[in-house]
């Protein structure tokens, strides 16, 4: 579900939309995406699954876009 949300935020908005996808995300998205990313990074046997790496990169890109859009820093990501 978090990957779907991340893909939504990375999607291009239609010319007819008043709100861009990143602007439609609730403030809790930062927490949800950060928790999902932390969970993915803590999974054992990461090398056995391509979807883990793909999911991680999508969520990370989405978080970066969200943080940039709202001029925020994610304290939980500073150690990574």
| pLDDT tens digits, 34-53 | 999 999 888 866 666 888 88
pLDDT of res. 79: 44
Residue 66 placed within a domain: yes
Residue 36 placed within a domain: yes
- For 65-74, how does the pLDDT look when each residue is reduced to its tens digit (9 = 90+)? 999 888 877 6
CB atoms within 10 A of CB 33: 24
Residue 33 placed within a domain: yes
Residue 78 placed within a domain: no
Q: Scanning the structure block, which residue is given the tokens 């990574």?
A: 80
Residue 16 placed within a domain: no
For residues 3 and 73, give the distance between their C-alpha atoms in angstroms, rounded to a whole number.
21
Q: Is the pTM of this model over 0.95?
A: no
Please say whether the beta carbons of 57 and 6 come within 8 A. Answer: no
Residue 15 placed within a domain: no
Give the total number of structural domains in the chain.
1
User: What is the domain extent for residue 29?
Assistant: 2-10+21-72
Residue 42 placed within a domain: yes
pLDDT of res. 19: 74
Residue 37 placed within a domain: yes
- For 9-22, how does the pLDDT look when each residue is reduced to its tens digit (9 = 90+)? 888 766 666 778 88
DSSP 8-class letter at 13: P
């Amino acid at each position: 579900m978090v990957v779907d949300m991340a893909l939504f935020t990375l999607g291009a908005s239609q010319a007819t939309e008043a709100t861009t996808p990143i602007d439609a995300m609730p403030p809790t998205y930062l927490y949800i995406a950060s928790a999902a990313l932390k969970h993915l990074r803590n999974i054992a046997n990461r090398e056995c699954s391509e979807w883990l790496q793909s999911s991680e990169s999508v969520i990370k890109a989405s978080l970066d876009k969200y943080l940039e859009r709202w001029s925020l820093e994610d304290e939980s990501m500073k150690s990574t």
